[in-house]
Structures are given as structure tokens and as C-alpha cells.
Amino acid sequence: MATIGWIATAAVGAIIVGGVVVGVISVPDIRRYLKMRSM
């Protein structure tokens, strides 16, 4: 049972890290898109 809990914790951590990475990568693109729209 402890192994299942460890795997679940690792999976949640990986999802959070992946979400943060995707967010950091996409922020400059979002800013560029908003800048282009406002012009």
C-alpha cells in the first residue's frame, strides 16, 4: 500500500511541475498575443 501512495504522490508532483513548466513557457506567447491584439 505504501508503494501505491508513493506512486500517487510522484504522479501528482509530476503533473504540478508539468503545469508550471507549461505556464511559464506560454506566458511570453500570451503577452505577445495580447500586445498584437491591442495594436
Confidence band of 38 (pLDDT split at 50, 70, 90):
confident
What is the pLDDT at residue 24?
Answer: 92
What is the pLDDT at residue 1? 77
The model's pLDDT over 8-27, given as tens digits with 9 standing for 90+, comes to 999 999 999 999 999 999 98
pLDDT of residue 39: 76
pLDDT at residue 30, rounded to an integer:
87
Length in residues, the chain:
39
Distances (CA, A) of 14 to 2, 32, 33, 35: 18, 28, 28, 32
